[in-house]
Structure 1
């Protein structure tokens, strides 16, 4: 029976009349991912760079959120073509690649998500969820249209090269990571440092000038609102583990204090 795959994050951004708001899913739990998928947020970033996620748990989370009105994106731990091939075959349609500092690196990531002759993605679609085990008609020829690729700008070097990165053909967008960017700029932990904020806004302007979508991570509401006003197309404003940590701390502070 012929099947179709879901629209990409690129499609969601193109159809949106406002910035898309999402959250990190870092717990590694399909149950938590499913709870977040029904929250009303626009998108989820399922993380495997700083989270206890491997292929099996990523697959389970993609299955858990499927069918909910939310778009999942997956971040691999590294921009390695072998890892990327595996994630794509699992059915991850939207990838966020960390630590992309140059246009050359950006071009390598573009090749990693495309089959030959345009790229280096290994051909295993008959074995893979990506093609629904060859139930998606003509998957090999249309696969690139079912995928979207976003690159992280999270170093001073990347900011210097952002115009070249966003101009790389095949890049659907960039995502600024202020935490690593602040560390790279010598102000570790100061995501609201004026120089960091200026660098983020420079990246937003560069993307807009190139006709490329740009987003960022901003847990602080004031910063998130500032960047949305500055033109961010998508933003992450929280994380499952962060919400659980802060929420459980509030419970402890409120009720343990009452019974002392």
Structure 2
């Protein structure tokens, strides 16, 4: 069934495919980047409202752009503790949201409540917006709770310690381990190859699989992302629109200037 069907959640469908769905980050805030990478072959694209310049008007236009491609959009809101931001992202047509820096089950319960209509939560209702196809999808209000996917992001050792209790919260649909912030919390900022980071990444994948909860992550290189897949991650991302642009720009400039500048970009997630 097409992702454009009003009564489906395309990201959940992606999780049912044999190979881990591959995505990337959208950080530049431009619909053209979103549309181009949607046609490049990625399974999913994350619109990142947490870092960078992306506001709600940008998100609205980027969702429109991605919906013109085969890719599936995810929106990461800027904070996990503001129901108004969640409501606006959902009203703009996002069906899968990622919530950063979730530390415990109580925070996860508040997140789910902000994303669900009563009686399951406290999301405010409006009849005419992009999510309801401007009022033409008459069953949106009845189906929205089932159509909305909540991904919670675990980014510290303490959050990973509580993985099972967070995963057990009704309405949490998937986990996402943020290796960049995890490295910072462990005192090795940006070094994703540090043994402590790798150990926790492997443990999180194994424990999520043991409780039947999909878990994702991302990395700066294809090689690292492949290693995460081997650990058992169910969906993965590599790089971002800005990373791809900067890497290619640096490579072209190095060739033109006759020098070798292959220093890896510092990438934070």
Normalising by structure 1, report the TM-score.
0.94
- Which one is further off, 184-193 or 78-87? 184-193
As a proportion of its length, which structure holds more helix? Answer: 1
Deviation at 1:237, TM superposition (A): 0.9
**Cα distance in 2 between the residues matched to 1:34 and 1:5:** 23
Quick one: distance in 2 between partners of 1:144 and 1:8? 15
1:205-254, Cα deviation, whole Å (9 max, x unpaired): 12111111000011133321111011111001121000101111111111
Matched, 1:112 2:114: yes
Q: What residue number does 2:262 align with?
A: none
Aligned counterpart, 2:140? 139
Matched residue, 1:198:
199
Runs (5+) with no aligned partner, structure 1: none
For the residues of structure 2 that align with 1:22 and 1:225, how far apart are their CA atoms? 13
Please name the residue that 1:67 is paired with.
Answer: 68
Shift of the alpha carbon at 1:62?
A: 0.4
Aligned residues: 254
* Equivalent pair of 2:43/2:71 in contact (CA under 8 Å): yes
Quick one: distance in 2 between partners of 1:252 and 1:67? 33
Q: CA RMSD in A?
A: 1.3
State the shift of 1:5 in Å.
Answer: 5.1
Partner residue, 2:181: 180
Q: Which residue of 1 aligns with 2:9?
A: 7
Question: Does the residue aligned with 2:215 lie in a helix, a strand or coil?
Answer: strand
**Aligned equivalents of 1:5 and 1:128: distance in 2?**
16
Please show how residues 30-45 of structure 1 align to structure 2 within 5 Å: 30-45=31-46
Q: Is the 8 A contact 1:5 1:136 kept in 2?
A: no
Please tell me whether the aligned partners of residues 8 and 146 of structure 1 are also in contact (alpha carbons under 8 angstroms).
no
CA contact (8 A) 1:150 1:173 kept: yes
Range with bigger deviation, 173-182 or 63-72: 63-72
Does residue 1:27 correspond to 2:41, yes or no? no
What secondary structure does 1:212 align onto? coil
Q: Which segments of structure 1 move beyond 4 Å, counting only runs of 4 or more? A: none
Match of 1:226 in 2: 227
SS at match of 1:130: coil
Match of 1:103 in 2: 105
Instruction: Measure the CA separation in 2 of the matches of 1:50 and 1:217.
Output: 15
CA displacement 1:17-45 (0-9 Å, x = unmatched): 11011111111000111000001111101
1:107 CA displacement: 1.0
Secondary structure of the 1:127 match is coil
What TM-score do the two structures reach when normalised by structure 2? 0.91
